[in-house]
């Protein structure tokens, strides 16, 4: 005797499933159609799908009425169809939200204009050449390797290309056109040089200094992250002409971290937009040895404005001065819009943004309701987090809150509202030169977070693809082998770390790609993917190259790489085997479903209130239904069983009593044995008469 408490638990576990139209209609189709066909003396293909009988047996109404209905198979089919139906409906809503979200991000980024402006200006400077006065060698930006090369590039390329005062015909350029770069980009204010320095005589990096002090009186420690950390020197220093140069901090503070100042700091020099004065200032700095052995970082930057595309562009050319004597030139750029809601196109983007936020709020609210309901029913706080997909969904909703916060921060830190615009320059009320250092960092962080969110979106789309068995192969394969892949990934990472350490020890002193462990690890992964050169290893160490190369190829490529493929293939084979089992068990619809029919059926469910307006050939009128003169469809599957009736039929399965029930017992439990057919026919006749 099963207690009422246990049955109540059974009822709770199946209530959500039995409450869906998919469950009840499919269940009713099996039971009712089987009964109808038995009464009229015909075999039911539906019955044979769910019974142990064979279609080749001779028909016997009494035998078929008592034949066992496989409840386990029935429940499997209905539950799977219900889950796919729910996942498909959620997928459609998620795709609509994703479309709005991606459209808003693309319109915010304006990547095409930003890339054209940014890349064009940087290429304009890096392609410029100068001649070394000592060797008469022609050099470009990437060829800089001495302090004299830096000064010559600043004088012959950076200054000459930034301040052009004569037209091609030799006539002077109008004052309103001075400072233009590539015709359409104009400098907003002066050029800026920023230097950071290392401390001379640090004990932490010069333990042998007392012994070699007479031979090497100077000793400079290392600095990191562009001279911001490490043995940084912030004390005023004197150049050869004796002026005092002071270390300055940027006055801007990060709004989202109160009390934390922006990392923008250094020894600044501003060059005016007058070629004669700027050249004189550069010459004075050069002759005064403003750059010397204590320099650890130098940056030359400026900001331009393009009125055609409403973009400010901050371009910076950087030089890392390592304490080994090496100089590493780098260049980068960022773009900022002048205003985010100033044109009709911006207002259209705002509408898309509001729709994306509204749909996100709706999806997040629905997810929260499901999580709260599950926690309340199961009396467990994290009951709604049953799998990785639930955690992924929660992570994305939380990440979107962070995205909204950053976008509000971008709007509130828009420096263009603080600008003073004249015919010759653009300055800021809070300072003479707006360089957008803080805003560029915030915008960069905003789009990085969006990129991470898009990666999560891709993973969720793969999970939603499981709504259709034909396109779910990738997601199902990964789901089957994810545990094996995770366990095997530990071994893979350990082997990669071992070979990275080997390469760092063997070739780090001679090959730049292996000078540090992090770069060695990246290069090892690239080598695994086929990006490698044996000749480079051999040139660095003829003895070590064969040992490293052949051991890596034998173990990582011939063994590990193929084992990874084998694990994935096992997962794929498991998915295909499950589909074959579905077909053998007469559950073909679980193994293969036409994606276009599935989408159309889902759309018809959404359009149910206006379905009568859709032509019958497209509306998908089910077999056994009638279309009346007024366009209404009379379905013999009206009068669905209640949730309690459906659960009552499944009771033996949930309570582990038995897996089958006779068809007669199913009809008795549903209490719809003969009543449903009479009701349907009478209802159809009344509707036809009224029509």
Which of 109-113, 170-174, 191-195, 251-255 shows the highest mean pLDDT?
191-195
Task: Provide the pLDDT confidence category of residue 22 given band limits of 50, 70 and 90.
Answer: very low
pLDDT average, residue stretch 514-530: 89
Q: What is the pLDDT of residue 452?
A: 93
Q: What is the pLDDT of residue 402?
A: 92
| Top-confidence residue, 379 or 80 | 379
Q: What is the pLDDT of residue 671?
A: 52
| Top-confidence residue, 239 or 445 | 445
Collapsed DSSP state (helix, strand, coil) of residue 267 = strand
| Top-confidence residue, 63 or 159 | 159
| Top-confidence residue, 370 or 657 | 370
How is residue 276 written in tokens? 């004669």
Residue of 480, 469, 478, 544 whose CA lies nearest to 508: 544
Task: Provide the pLDDT confidence category of residue 596 given band limits of 50, 70 and 90.
Answer: confident
pLDDT average, residue stretch 645-651: 57
Task: Provide the pLDDT confidence category of residue 8 given band limits of 50, 70 and 90.
Answer: very low
pLDDT average, residue stretch 586-597: 68
Q: Read out DSSP for 315-368?
A: EEEEEEE-TTS-EEEEEEEEEEES-SSSSHHHHHHHHHHHHHHHHHHHHHHHHH
Task: Provide the pLDDT confidence category of residue 120 given band limits of 50, 70 and 90.
Answer: very high
Query: Is pLDDT at 179 greater than 50 in this prediction?
Result: yes
Collapsed DSSP state (helix, strand, coil) of residue 672 = coil
| Top-confidence residue, 594 or 682 | 594
Distance of CA 278 to the CA centre of its chain: 45
Q: Read out DSSP for 101-145?
A: HHHHHHHHH-HHHHHHHHHHHHHHHHT--EE-TTT--EE-GGG--
Beta-bridge mates of residue 131:
138
Q: How far apart are CA 110 and CA 447, in angstroms?
A: 12
Contact 663, 66 (CB under 8 A): yes
pLDDT average, residue stretch 203-216: 64
Collapsed DSSP state (helix, strand, coil) of residue 162 = helix
Q: What is the pLDDT of residue 586?
A: 56
Report the share of the chain in percent with pLDDT over 90.
Answer: 18
Q: What is the pLDDT of residue 319?
A: 95
Collapsed DSSP state (helix, strand, coil) of residue 170 = coil
Q: How far apart are CA 214 and CA 291, in angstroms?
A: 24
Q: What is the pLDDT of residue 34?
A: 40
**Rounded to 10 degrees, what is the CA torsion of 132, 133, 137, 140?**
20
Residue of 24, 46, 44, 50 whose CA lies nearest to 585: 50
Q: How far apart are CA 425 and CA 421, in angstroms?
A: 6
Contact 197, 440 (CB under 8 A): no
Query: Is pLDDT at 418 greater than 60 in this prediction?
Result: yes
Query: Is pLDDT at 31 greater than 90 in this prediction?
Result: no
How is residue 332 written in tokens? 């980068």
pLDDT average, residue stretch 450-469: 87
Give pairs for 402-410: CB < 8 Å, separation 24+. 402/449, 403/446, 403/449, 403/450, 403/453, 404/357, 405/256, 406/442, 406/445, 406/446, 406/449, 407/446, 409/255, 409/256, 409/442, 409/446, 410/340, 410/439, 410/442, 410/443, 410/446
Q: How far apart are CA 280 and CA 167, in angstroms?
A: 22
Domain ranges in the chain are 4-83+621-690, 111-308, 471-594
Query: Is pLDDT at 593 greater than 60 in this prediction?
Result: yes
Q: What is the pLDDT of residue 142?
A: 92
User: Which of 156-170, 238-252, 303-317, 478-492 shows the lowest mean pLDDT across its residues?
Assistant: 238-252
Residue of 542, 523, 541, 519 whose CA lies nearest to 531: 523
Residue of 158, 186, 191 whose CA lies nearest to 433: 191
| 482-509 pLDDT tens trace | 888 888 889 899 999 999 999 999 998 8
Query: Is pLDDT at 312 greater than 70 in this prediction?
Result: yes
Q: Is the pTM of this model over 0.85?
A: no
| 537-565 pLDDT tens trace | 888 888 889 999 999 999 988 888 888 88
User: Which of 43-47, 133-137, 384-388 shows the lowest mean pLDDT across its residues?
Assistant: 43-47
| Top-confidence residue, 652 or 223 | 223
pLDDT average, residue stretch 173-195: 85
pLDDT average, residue stretch 79-99: 81
Q: How far apart are CA 653 and CA 72, in angstroms?
A: 7
Task: Provide the pLDDT confidence category of residue 352 given band limits of 50, 70 and 90.
Answer: very high
The pLDDT mean for the chain works out to: 75
Q: How far apart are CA 430 and CA 278, in angstroms?
A: 24
């Amino acid at each position: 005797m099963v207690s009422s408490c246990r049955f109540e638990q059974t009822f709770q576990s199946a209530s959500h499933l039995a409450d869906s139209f998919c469950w009840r209609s499919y269940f009713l189709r099996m039971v009712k159609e089987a009964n109808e066909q038995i009464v009229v003396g015909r075999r039911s293909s539906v019955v044979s799908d769910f019974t142990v009988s064979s279609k080749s047996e001779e028909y016997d109404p009494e035998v078929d009425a008592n034949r066992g209905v496989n409840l386990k198979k029935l429940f499997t089919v209905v539950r799977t169809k219900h889950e796919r139906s729910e996942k498909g409906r959620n997928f459609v809503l998620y795709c609509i939200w994703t479309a709005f979200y991606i459209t808003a991000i693309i319109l915010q980024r304006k990547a095409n204009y930003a890339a054209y402006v940014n890349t064009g200006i940087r290429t304009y400077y890096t392609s410029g050449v100068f001649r070394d006065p000592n060797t008469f060698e022609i050099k470009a930006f990437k060829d800089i390797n001495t302090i004299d090369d830096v000064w010559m590039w600043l004088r012959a390329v950076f200054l000459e290309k930034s301040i052009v005062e004569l037209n091609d015909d030799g006539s002077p350029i109008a004052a309103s056109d001075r400072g233009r770069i590539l015709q359409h980009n104009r400098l907003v204010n002066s050029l800026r040089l920023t230097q950071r320095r290392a401390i001379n005589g640090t004990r932490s990096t010069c333990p042998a200094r007392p012994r070699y002090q007479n031979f090497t009186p100077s000793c400079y420690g290392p600095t990191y992250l562009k001279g911001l950390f490490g043995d940084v020197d912030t004390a005023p220093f004197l150049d050869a002409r004796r002026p005092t140069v002071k270390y300055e901090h940027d006055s801007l503070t990060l709004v989202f971290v109160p009390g934390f100042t922006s990392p923008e700091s250094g020894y600044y020099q501003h060059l005016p937009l007058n070629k004669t004065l700027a050249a004189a200032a550069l010459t004075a700095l050069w002759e005064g040895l403003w750059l010397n052995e204590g320099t650890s970082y130098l940056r030359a930057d400026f900001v331009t404005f393009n009125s055609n595309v409403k973009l400010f562009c901050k371009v910076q050319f950087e030089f890392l001065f390592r304490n080994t004597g090496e100089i590493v030139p780098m260049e980068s750029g960022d773009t900022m819009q002048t205003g985010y809601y100033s044109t009709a196109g911006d207002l259209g983007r705002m509408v898309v943004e509001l729709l994306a936020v509204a749909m996100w709020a709706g999806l997040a609210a629905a997810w929260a309701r499901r999580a709260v309901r599950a926690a309340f029913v199961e009396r467990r706080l994290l009951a709604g987090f049953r799998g990785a997909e639930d955690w992924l969904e929660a992570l994305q909703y939380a990440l979107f809150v962070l995205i909204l916060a950053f976008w509000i921060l971008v709007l509130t830190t828009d420096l263009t509202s603080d600008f003073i615009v004249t015919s010759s320059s653009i300055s800021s009320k809070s300072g003479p030169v707006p360089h957008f250092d803080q805003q560029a960092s915030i915008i960069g962080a905003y789009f990085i977070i969006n990129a991470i969110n898009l990666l999560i979106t891709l993973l969720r789309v793969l999970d939603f693809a499981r709504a259709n068995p034909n396109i779910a192969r990738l997601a199902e394969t990964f789901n089957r082998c994810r545990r094996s892949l995770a366990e095997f990934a530990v071994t893979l990472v350990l082997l990669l770390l071992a070979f990275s350490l080997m390469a760092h020890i063997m070739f780090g002193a001679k090959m730049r790609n292996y000078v540090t462990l992090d770069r060695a690890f990246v290069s090892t992964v690239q080598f695994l993917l086929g990006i490698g050169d044996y000749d480079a290893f051999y040139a660095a160490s003829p003895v070590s190259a064969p040992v490293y190369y052949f051991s890596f190829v034998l173990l990582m490529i011939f063994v590990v790489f193929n084992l990874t493929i084998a694990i994935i293939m096992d997962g794929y084979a498991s998915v295909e085997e499950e589909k074959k089992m579905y077909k053998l068990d007469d559950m073909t619809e679980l193994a293969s479903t036409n994606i276009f029919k599935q989408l159309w059926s889902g759309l018809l469910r959404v359009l149910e209130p206006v379905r009568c307006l859709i032509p019958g050939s497209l509306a998908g009128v089910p077999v056994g239904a009638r279309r009346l003169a007024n366009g209404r469809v009379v379905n013999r599957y009206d009068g669905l069983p209640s949730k309690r009736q459906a659960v009552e039929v499944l009771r033996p399965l949930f309570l582990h009593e038995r897996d089958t029930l006779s068809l007669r017992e199913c009809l008795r439990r549903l209490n719809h044995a003969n009543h449903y057919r009479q009701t349907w026919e009478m209802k159809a006749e009344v509707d036809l008469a009224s029509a």
